[in-house]
Structure 1
Amino acid sequence: MEYNGEITSKVRRGTMGEMRKVPLEQVEHYKVHGRTTKERNPLTLFWTGSGIEVNVSGTEIWVELYSDYDCFEPWISVLVNGEVISRQMVLKGMHKLCLFRNMNPDVIKNIQIFKEVQAMPDDEKHCLQVFSFELDGEFYKVPERKAKLEVIGDSITSGEGAIGATCEEDWISMWFSSQDNYATLLAKKLGADLRIISQSGWGVVSSWNNNPYGAIPPIYEEVCGPLKGERNEALGAHEKNDFKAWQPDVIVINLGTNDGGAFDQPEWQDERTGETFKERKNEDGTYYEEDLDRFEWAVRAFLRKLRRLNQNAYLLWVYGILDKPLLPTLQKAINTYQTECEDLKVSLLEIPKMTEEEIGARYHPGKKAHERMATILSEEIQNIL
């Protein structure tokens, strides 16, 4: 995407000197969070929790962002020295946002900007990009953290309902959160850099409503496979991800909730082709063995793909915060994979179901549930590593 406009402002003078605009491609020190392309002019933020991090001196800094959408607007959180100081929607167009001002010019500040909202395949215009910074200080090196963590999941991992009142039912951008999300809380506990790959309603075999195209494994190798449309194609959403450039130490997979729910939903039909799909139950309420076998096979196939692309990562599958009807099948799949592939760096962790006190917006896990999940996962991963 190209921007031909120009944002003008008066030149201000701070303790450190004149404010200067620095295009991102000219910033010497910064860290990109989240899976994206190699393009930095501008930097496109695709996934939940994707963002940019800088260490800067000076009294004041602004960021220049571009946003677009049809229905689902992007939201961001701004962190200063590790604490959230701002959460806001980013309206359409090019905008300058002040990240801090009047701070001690001699102290280096850590600044992080994170996308709160997941990739939105049903809104082809949904877009958030970082173009430049304006500041009166200097950029300093952002050190690597001691570990790398990838978390793969559905609406739970997208932070849907992690923020907002329990009465909220609208499916809108405002009720997504990357910062009250168990994945982010876990990364902080582990001292790890984080990447999130997640889509609300998606599963291993199909989505919550039996759509077989709502499955994470087939799109995992792409930069941001769920996205549609010519602009997202041009932005590189369907490029092959560069796995060699970023290898996680641990991958948490939180999938299966929507696969289980699909057994109770009507048959899905493609309006264009007439294609149908359904996870089936017997008359006595038990699951079709054929469909359980398909889920088991898909789990094993996904584990093989993850291992091929992330050779040294520990693979931790977690399940149960909302419900766990497929737990026996999931355990069987993982046990079979371990035996077939002689891979001992994989395990299943059952998460106790959320309580009434932990329910958030849209009957999804709220902040308390995410905090509990992060604590359980942190203890498990620290024992593993």
Structure 2
Amino acid sequence: MSEILNENLKEYKISRIPYIHLLGRNVSNALKNEKPVSLFWGASGLEIKAKSSEVWALVETDYSVNEVWACVWINGRIISRFMLEKGKKWICLCRGFSEKTVNTICFMRDSQAMCDDLRQICLVHSFALAKNGEFLPIEKKKPMIEFVGDSITSGEGLVGSIKEEEWISTWISPSKTYAVQAANALNADFSLISQCGWGVVTGWNNNRNTIIPPYYEQVCGLCSGENQKRLGSIEKFDFSICQNDFVFVNLGTNDSGAFNSPPWIENGVEYKMRKNLDGSYFEEDAIKISYGVKDFLKIIRKNNPKARICWIWGMLEIPELSKYLEKGVSMYIAESKDKKVDTMVLQSMSLEVKDEDKGSRFHPGPLTHKNAAKKIFEYCKKFHHT
């Protein structure tokens, strides 16, 4: 890393780059508003195609607890992953190429949005090429896919030893998830909306506030620090920007976990997803999840009128909750007559036998994500033909 731009390089502000692709949700006109681009969500990023011997990016980050990680892709493969330092610094993405070499380069945020860190930001101000370098047109990718989920979609457990147990951003890597793998296999554009521990109607710890649906229509509303809001996190998201062809929802694992967690107490009131004496889910609580699924599907459909929607689960087994997820989707279909909504059960992490197939923090590892990506690839191929 360097704080001083090499004299052999030429800086280009983001709004001055003729060809650049934005990955992930963002504010309207993010590439043209003369401001640095904020990377809000995991696996959001900026992609360029350039003829240059080297490429740099001017990146600014801040945080109070959870540092931001990033990774660099060159021609469809990750070549580096690193922790970003606080402050505004030039980062060398690649160098040493011949002046005639053309590379597609993506600078990607490799940490989820951190709702509890009100200072955390990740901004890209500029790119720099060799003085005789040039930007080239980027091929448009299709279809457009949105993935909505929790820690599995955030990539928790995809970095580190299987013995790791601490919850830190080091062990979270959205770039390695089933979602990114499936999108790349389809040559698709994509976005991720995910948060560890969050659910449909409750978080893993019975906190009724840590749920995704209320934030779905915002850019990144779960990040509510003053600086985050100034960057546009709570703005209403313009869905016309992306026009999703597919929306995959991988939520429910944490709603299931709440039945096994202690009560959440807020303002003297106790909240708890209850079990019967025989260990089964208390119907009055479990059915809330079905209604939550139904209501969330309404919100998704309102904003994605042409998309095929698929509710997925199973990478972490939740057998008791499955029927309530199915019921919620069936209720929505019966009420709306929507014929473009499906469910799909993915292979679970119980198939992971070898250590290299397993993840850290008791989460699905590389094998389970690979299996999920393959199934999603096959699903999308049935409905989208290039």
TM over 0.5: yes
Q: 1:229 to 1:179 in 2, by over 3 A?
A: closer
Is 2:285 the partner of 1:286? no
Contact 1:162 1:370 (C-alpha < 8 Å) held by counterparts: no
Partner of 1:114: 108
Identical amino acids, percent of aligned pairs: 39
Partner of 1:75: 69
Structure 1 counterpart of 2:297, which letter? L
Work out the CA distance in 1 between the residues paired with 2:239 and 2:128.
32
Structure 2 counterpart of 1:70, which letter? S
Contact 2:206 2:271 (C-alpha < 8 Å) held by counterparts: yes
Partner of 2:137: 141
Q: CA deviation at 1:28?
A: 1.3
Structure 2 counterpart of 1:364, which letter? H
Partner of 1:333: 328
Q: SS in structure 1 opposite 2:174?
A: coil
Partner of 2:88: 94
Q: CA deviation at 1:20?
A: 1.0
Is 2:375 the partner of 1:379? no
Is 2:232 the partner of 1:247? no
Structure 2 counterpart of 1:343, which letter? D
Structure 2 counterpart of 1:303, which letter? L
Q: SS in structure 2 opposite 1:157?
A: helix
Q: CA deviation at 1:133?
A: 1.2
Q: 1:264 to 1:29 in 2, by over 3 A?
A: same
Q: CA deviation at 1:228?
A: 2.3
Q: 1:139 to 1:326 in 2, by over 3 A?
A: same
The C-alpha deviation readout for 1:25-52, integer Å capped at 9, x for no partner, is 2111100101111344110001010000
Partner of 1:367: 366
Matches within 5 A, 1:160-239: 160-239=156-235
Partner of 2:117: 123
Structure 2 counterpart of 1:267, which letter? P
Match among 333, 345, 355 for residue 350 of structure 1: 345
Work out the CA distance in 2 between the residues paired with 1:24 and 1:275.
49
Structure 1 counterpart of 2:375, which letter? I
Work out the CA distance in 1 between the residues paired with 2:26 and 2:302.
20
Partner of 1:314: 308
Contact 1:163 1:367 (C-alpha < 8 Å) held by counterparts: no
Work out the CA distance in 1 between the residues paired with 2:289 and 2:346.
20
Is 2:25 the partner of 1:35? yes
Q: SS in structure 1 opposite 2:349?
A: coil
Work out the CA distance in 1 between the residues paired with 2:358 and 2:54.
39
Contact 1:21 1:133 (C-alpha < 8 Å) held by counterparts: yes
Work out the CA distance in 2 between the residues paired with 1:78 and 1:10.
20
Contact 1:23 1:131 (C-alpha < 8 Å) held by counterparts: yes
Q: CA deviation at 1:7?
A: 4.8
Work out the CA distance in 1 between the residues paired with 2:190 and 2:25.
10
Contact 1:114 1:178 (C-alpha < 8 Å) held by counterparts: no
Work out the CA distance in 2 between the residues paired with 1:50 and 1:91.
18
Structure 1 counterpart of 2:261, which letter? Q
Work out the CA distance in 1 between the residues paired with 2:6 and 2:37.
26
Partner of 1:55: 49
Work out the CA distance in 1 between the residues paired with 2:41 and 2:334.
34
Is 2:152 the partner of 1:156? yes
Match among 25, 42, 62 for residue 15 of structure 2: 25
Q: 1:256 to 1:30 in 2, by over 3 A?
A: same
The C-alpha deviation readout for 1:200-245, integer Å capped at 9, x for no partner, is 0000001000001111111100100211221111111100001111
Structure 1 counterpart of 2:377, which letter? S
Work out the CA distance in 2 between the residues paired with 1:126 and 1:63.
19
Q: CA deviation at 1:384?
A: 3.7
TM-score computed with the length of structure 1 as normaliser? 0.94
Structure 1 counterpart of 2:365, which letter? G
Q: SS in structure 1 opposite 2:292?
A: helix
CA RMSD, 1 decimal:
1.4
Work out the CA distance in 1 between the residues paired with 2:243 and 2:236.
15
Q: CA deviation at 1:276?
A: 2.9
Q: SS in structure 2 opposite 1:317?
A: strand
Contact 1:53 1:113 (C-alpha < 8 Å) held by counterparts: yes
Work out the CA distance in 1 between the residues paired with 2:42 and 2:162.
22
Contact 2:347 2:371 (C-alpha < 8 Å) held by counterparts: no
Work out the CA distance in 2 between the residues paired with 1:153 and 1:75.
19
Structure 2 counterpart of 1:375, which letter? K
Q: CA deviation at 1:10?
A: 4.5
The C-alpha deviation readout for 1:84-124, integer Å capped at 9, x for no partner, is 11110101011111112121212321001111100001111
Q: SS in structure 2 opposite 1:96?
A: strand
Q: CA deviation at 1:159?
A: 0.3
